[in-house]
Amino acid sequence: LLFAPLQFYRTGQHRHGDVHVYGGRSRFLTDAVLAHVQRVASVVAVGGEPSSPGRLEPRLDVGARLRDMW
């Protein structure tokens, strides 16, 4: 499983700053390699609803596990 961020935020900006750059595909992910992987995007539709709401549910409730530790 490989996650590749779409945006990278720059450091050293105002606390409300939104300066970012878009990352390109890695040179190690050649067309031959990409032929063997399934591409999945996590995007929000134009109407503001998630494209696949069932897949966005958390599998692990980290907050609950931390509360149980205390």
Q: What is the pLDDT of residues 23-39, one digit of tens each?
A: 778 888 889 988 888 87
> Lowest-confidence range among 7-11, 15-19, 37-41, 50-54?
50-54
Which is it for the CA torsion 1, 23, 55, 38, positive or negative?
A: negative
Name the 3-class secondary structure at 33. helix
Whether the per-residue pLDDT at 13 is higher than 70: the answer is yes
Q: Where exactly are the structural domains of the chain? A: 1-52
Name the 3-class secondary structure at 44. strand
Measured distance between the N- and C-terminal CA atoms of the chain, rounded to whole angstroms: 32
From residue 48, give the alpha-carbon distance in Å to each of 25, 40, 45: 27, 18, 5
- Which regions of the chain does DSSP assign to beta strands (E)? 7-9, 20-22
- Residue 49, pLDDT score: 56
